[in-house]
Amino acid sequence: MTWYYNNEPVNEIDTQKYKAFVYRITNLIDGRQYIGKKLTENTKTRPPLKGKTRKRREKYESDWRDYWSSSDELKEDVKRLGEENFRRDILEFCLNKGSASYYEAKHQFLNEVLEHPDKWYNGHIQVRVHRTHIKKDK
């Protein structure tokens, strides 16, 4: 299944520039939606080399291409109804993880996702953001 940004398919993301994105997944059958965030890269920490003390960190691309959210209810619907009955849209590209958390919560609050469980898959909003996290995006 494809991701879309401004109705254009997204096949690649510049992971050097964008560390995360905020997305919306829409069930095309009943209209329910989910808003979340996804990192474009993951980091693996490995033990230090022999004779060294610093841990090694390796970055690799996350599973964003095949990702269907952290919502178990949504993932069950995707399995039951098929991927072709869902649309995945990227709402914002983010320069860091902190700004992704901020914009995810902003979209969730603006759309009142907790107040309308018949329209949204989101079951909770969890965010801890400091103002310095979003300064970098401006």
87-99 pLDDT tens trace? 999 999 999 999 9
On the question of pLDDT at 109 being above 80, the answer is yes
Residue type, 61: E
Q: What is the pLDDT of residue 132?
A: 80
Domain count across the chain: 1
Q: Do residues 38 and 64 lie in contact, with contact meaning Cβ atoms separated by under 8 Å?
A: yes
25 alpha carbon, distance to own chain's centre:
10
Taking all residues of the chain, what is their mean pLDDT, rounded to a whole number?
92
Split at pLDDT 50, 70, 90, the class of 129 is confident
Continuous segment of H or E residues that includes residue 79:
helix 72-81
Range of the domain at 106: 3-135
What does the CA dihedral 123, 44, 22, 3 come to, rounded to 10 degrees? -110
